[in-house]
Structure 1
């Protein structure tokens, strides 16, 4: 499994770069954190608590998303244009 080897050309031909995965993680987490803050505010009625919850989960979920994305990028299942023998 290749997660960080930037010299593996075949890997990059069939998948995304690390930079793209990182940018996707940041943009997705921004949206997700806003959602978490809004939901937390509706549940607690306290903006300070809502922002605290959002502030914690933004880092944990960004970390988890990055590795989830990199692992899925190594799986051939469901990708088009990739032969089963490669």
Structure 2
């Protein structure tokens, strides 16, 4: 089982990568830095929250784990 701290670090690193990518996509698609940044921030907030919940649920499911 993963610690809550490990889950949070993984989530933050993954979302930092996603924030950079979404900012770039938003800029390319809209031509606006501010609209691209707003899209990226909203997406990151939603993604971080759902990722943490998702990881914590899976941390408590024993199916598919090997114990050896």
TM-score by length of 1: 0.73
1:45 is aligned to 2:45:
no
RMSD across aligned positions (CA): 1.3
Q: CA deviation at 1:75?
A: 1.4
Which residue of 36, 52, 58 maps to 2:22?
36
Give every structure 1 segment of 4 or more consecutive aligned residues whose post-TM-superposition deviation is greater than 2 Å. Answer: none
Task: Return the alpha-carbon distance in structure 2 between the equivalents of residues 49 and 78 of structure 1.
Answer: 42
The answer for the alignment partner of 2:49 in structure 1 is 63
Higher helix share: 2
1:6 corresponding residue in structure 2: none
1:63 alignment partner, SS class = helix
Q: Which has the larger radius of gyration?
A: 1
2:60 aligned residue: 74
Distance, in Å, in 1 between the alignment partners of 2:32 and 2:65 is 44
Q: Alignment length, in residue pairs?
A: 68
Structure 2 unaligned regions, length at least 5: none
Query: Unpaired segments of 5 or more residues in structure 1?
Result: 1-14
